[in-house]
């Protein structure tokens, strides 16, 4: 597996396995609706195509050795979309999780959900819990699906949990520090993302991993998510491997 990159007006083959890959990669899956609109199709058509891309990219990330992959699947703000679109998304989520239970019992990927899953229909929430439980003993890539997720809501939830521990006498105010906050986020016990990719050409974070991404490298790609390929990801990873991450230092 590799990538051809331009180097002094010539093509150079780069072996992906030789690159400095991010330990934790985040992807904001964006552009499904616009992709469908450009083709004169309903938005649901774009979400279905985006789901196929999700399957291909998540599998590829596992194959090349990414340890943690977080995909932004459904935000706390997405509930405001037209009901028929939300209903179709719920159906796609249900189909994928049913498929995962059926076809991936011998897989190595650990599936986790970031967000408040209690807002989803019970049947879907139960599928999420079942997938988490069945995959919990695996030793492969951790795949985080951010569903009913918002970065601000996540921080508020962490503050509430810490506040309750203080009220219960388990913590003091002086014990509050960055590690304690991190330990009460949905991503507790996971490293912060090193690299976040946003397809679709939009230049905003969209409430994604606000606390965790303080020092993440960002990469914007103009391609819409349903058209995103392994080659697009390879080029982004090649760009990441060239960056000098200083974390505020020199």
Active site positions, annotated: 30, 78
Cβ(155)–Cβ(211) under 8 Å?
yes
Task: Measure the CA–CA gap between 140 and 135, rounded to whole angstroms.
Answer: 10
Angle at 224 between CA 218 and CA 149, to 5 degrees: 60
Task: Measure the CA–CA gap between 115 and 151, rounded to whole angstroms.
Answer: 9
DSSP string, 194-233: SEEEETTS--S-TTSSTTTTTT-EEEE--S-GGG--HHHH
Contact residues for 108 (Cβ-Cβ < 8 A; gap 6+): 62, 138, 139, 140, 141
Q: Which residue has the tokens 């490298």?
A: 217
Summary count for the chain: helices (H), strands (E): 7, 8
Task: Measure the CA–CA gap between 121 and 168, rounded to whole angstroms.
Answer: 32
**Around 199, how many Cα atoms within 13 Å sit in the side-chain half-sphere?**
25
Cβ(61)–Cβ(69) under 8 Å?
yes
Contact residues for 8 (Cβ-Cβ < 8 A; gap 6+): none
């Amino acid at each position: 597996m590799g990538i051809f990159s331009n180097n002094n007006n010539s093509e150079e083959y780069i072996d992906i396995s030789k690159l400095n890959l991010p330990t934790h990669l985040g992807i904001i899956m964006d552009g499904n609706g616009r992709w469908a609109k450009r083709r004169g199709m309903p938005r649901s058509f774009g979400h279905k195509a985006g789901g196929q891309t999700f399957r291909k990219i998540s599998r590829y990330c596992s194959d090349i050795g990414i340890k943690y992959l977080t995909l932004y699947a459904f935000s706390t703000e997405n509930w405001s979309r037209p009901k028929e679109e939300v209903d179709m998304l719920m159906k796609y989520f249900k189909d994928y999780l049913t498929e995962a239970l059926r076809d991936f019992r011998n897989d190595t990927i650990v599936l986790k959900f970031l967000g408040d899953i209690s807002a989803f229909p019970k049947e879907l929430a139960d599928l999420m819990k079942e997938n988490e439980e069945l995959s919990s003993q695996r030793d492969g890539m951790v795949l985080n699906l951010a569903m009913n997720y918002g970065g601000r809501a996540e921080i508020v939830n962490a503050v509430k949990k810490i506040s309750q521990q203080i009220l219960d006498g388990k913590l003091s105010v002086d014990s509050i520090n960055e590690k304690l906050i991190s330990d009460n986020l949905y991503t507790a016990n996971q490293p912060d993302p090193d690299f976040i990719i946003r397809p679709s050409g939009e230049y905003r974070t969209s409430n994604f991993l606000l606390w965790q991404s303080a020092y993440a490298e960002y990469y914007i790609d103009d391609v819409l998510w349903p058209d995103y390929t392994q080659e697009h990801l390879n080029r982004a990873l090649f760009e990441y491997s060239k960056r000098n991450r200083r974390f505020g230092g020199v």
